[in-house]
Amino acid sequence: MEFGIFDHLDNDHLPIADYLEERLKLMELYDRLGFYSWHVAEHHATTLGMAPSPNIMLAAAAQRTKKLRFGPMVYALPLYHPMRLAEEIAMVDQMSRGRLDMGFGRGSSPVEICYMGIDPEATEAIYRRDLPRILEALETGTMQVDGHGGEQYSRARLTVMPFQKPTPPVWYGVHTTSSAERAARNGWAQINLDPIADVVECNNVYRDVWRQAQGAKPYPLMGLGRFAIVAETDAKANEIARRAYPHWQRGFTHLFRLHGRKGTHPRPETWDGLVAQGRGFAGSPKSMADYLGAELAAAKCNYCVIQPAFGDQTLQEMTTSIELFAGEVMPALRKLDLKLEAA
């Protein structure tokens, strides 16, 4: 069992410089407490995303941590030129001496895609065209490019190659059985943030396809993601969560409300509504361990990913929550005898 962090980097209450410094301090804390990896979302033109350039944040993280892995969950691939993204990935992987985890997606917000001058209907084709080129370039050092100048400009050579060979690990955000199948066939690790019934269904498909496509190769990390706040008591944890969550939710829905559009992954307005969906939990260390233990056992996941930093929580509130999780919840969950295969 490994433990990771998912982060939107949402902020609507602090000066940006102060906020980013707080997040880097939290990453130092994750590093000291033994978390496996920090996964950051990419968003634009909304308070949900204070890291519109994930690689800048990851480069800073590389200098402030020693063991913690980190990476995007996910790069919004259609927003990048593939050669530039491959070069930046290689740089961050070298700067961290091999601690980068890569995640690629089409972009979850059509509004953000439109802001960048791209047709949302074209993102699937861009993704399918550019991802193989990026992975090939990271492995071989050569990329097929759309040069203007004839055949002599059709191949470009990367002067910076990744530290990890053949490439940094690839992660995939799973929401459907088809995405679970795609991740398994490609041998990618995965994280699912959906309610438990959906996670169970996706993981069943993932394991079946993994055995078909990968044979006896061991499963990679299969992540279950949940909002999570820990405090000394259930009442205190829920008090913090109920106050903080609406700030996050407003950032999550801002662009859709601004343009009168329906969100692709809707979230309820209240913390209690999120808990009712099964996407989050707040409680004492024992309550949190009981909740996550049942979820991980049902989904047969070997990677527990929490989102403890969101909304208007103070640095002290977040630090206390994370330290309680690492000190009391993680040891309890590590004792669980979780079977990844179906009984």
Task: CATH number of the domain at 159, please.
Answer: 3.20.20.30
pLDDT above 70: residue 263:
no
Q: Which of 42, 7, 51, 3 is nearest to 26 (CA)?
A: 7
Please report the pLDDT score of residue 343 as a whole number.
47
Residue 55 within a domain = yes
Given a cut of 50, whether residue 16 has pLDDT beyond it is: yes
- Residue 89, C-beta contacts closer than 8 angstroms, at least 6 positions apart: 55, 100, 102, 134, 138, 162, 168
Q: 213 Cβ partners below 8 Å, 6+ apart?
A: 184, 185, 187
Q: Note whether 280 and 298 are same-domain residues.
A: yes
Same domain for 236 and 325, yes or no, is: yes
Domain annotation covers residue 95: yes
pTM of the model: 0.95
Average pLDDT on 219-231 reads 97
**In a domain? residue 323:** yes
- Shared domain for 124 and 104, answered yes or no, is yes
State mean pLDDT over 39-62. Answer: 96
> Does residue 228 share a domain with residue 324?
yes
- Rounded Cα gap, residues 121 and 113, in angstroms: 10
Provide the domain count of the chain.
Answer: 2
Residue 193 located in a structural domain:
no
Q: Which two tokens stand for residue 112?
A: 């953000």
Least Cα distance to 306 among 290, 329, 273, 336 occurs for 329
Q: Would you say residue 5 lies in a domain?
A: yes
**Domain assignment present for 106:** yes
pLDDT tier, 144 (very low <50, low <70, confident <90, very high otherwise): confident
Instruction: Provide the pLDDT for residue 115.
Output: 95
Which distant-in-sequence residues (6+ apart) come within 8 Å of 23 by Cβ?
7, 9, 50, 57, 309
- The answer to whether residues 277 and 306 belong to one domain is yes
Mean pLDDT of 8-18: 96
Residue 2 shares a structural domain with residue 58? no
Q: Is there a single domain that holds both residue 111 and residue 68?
A: yes
Domain-embedded: residue 294? yes
Q: Is the pLDDT of residue 152 over 70?
A: no
- Tokens matching residue 11: 């902020």
Given 129, 152, 169, the domain boundary residue is 169
125 shares a domain with 61: yes
C-alpha 246: how far from chain center: 21
- Angle (deg, nearest 10), helices 234-258 and 315-324: 120
pLDDT score of 3 more than 70:
yes
Q: pLDDT per residue over 305-322, tens digit each?
A: 999 999 999 999 999 999
Residues 263, 303: contact at Cβ < 8 Å?
A: no
**Domain limits at 4?**
1-36+221-343
Using pLDDT thresholds of 50, 70 and 90, give the confidence band for residue 148: low
Is residue 86 located within the same domain as residue 146? yes
Band of residue 262 on the pLDDT scale cut at 50, 70, 90: confident
Confidence of residue 18 (pLDDT cuts 50, 70, 90): very high
Domain match, 341 and 229 both: yes
Asked which of 102, 134, 169 is the last residue of a domain, the reply is 169
| 202 occurs within a structural domain | no
Are 73 and 25 members of one domain?
A: no
**Read out DSSP for 108-171?**
S-HHHHHHTT--GGGHHHHHHHHHHHHHHHHHHSEEE---SSSGGGSEEE-SS--SSSS-PPEE
d(Cα 29, Cα 25) in Å, to the nearest integer? Answer: 6
Lowest-pLDDT range of 66-80, 185-199, 256-270: 256-270
Q: Per-residue pLDDT averaged across 121-149, rounded?
A: 91
pLDDT at 37 over 70: yes
Widest CA span in the chain: 67
- What is the enclosing helix (H) or strand (E) of 238? helix 234-258
Q: What is the mean pLDDT of residues 321-338?
A: 94
Looking at every residue in the chain, the average pLDDT score rounds to 95
Whether residues 320 and 338 fall in one domain: yes
Averaged pLDDT, 144-167 = 84
Q: Would you say residue 68 has pLDDT above 80?
A: yes
Query: Rounded CA gap, 139 and 144, in Å?
Result: 13
Predicted confidence band at 141 (pLDDT cuts at 50, 70, 90)? very high
Give the helix/strand (H/E) hosting 70.
Answer: strand 69-72
Give 59-63's long-range contacts (Cβ < 8 A, gap of 24+).
59/91, 59/92, 59/95, 60/20, 60/24, 61/24, 61/27, 61/96, 62/92, 62/95, 62/96, 62/99, 63/95
Q: 127, 152, 169 — which closes off a domain?
A: 169
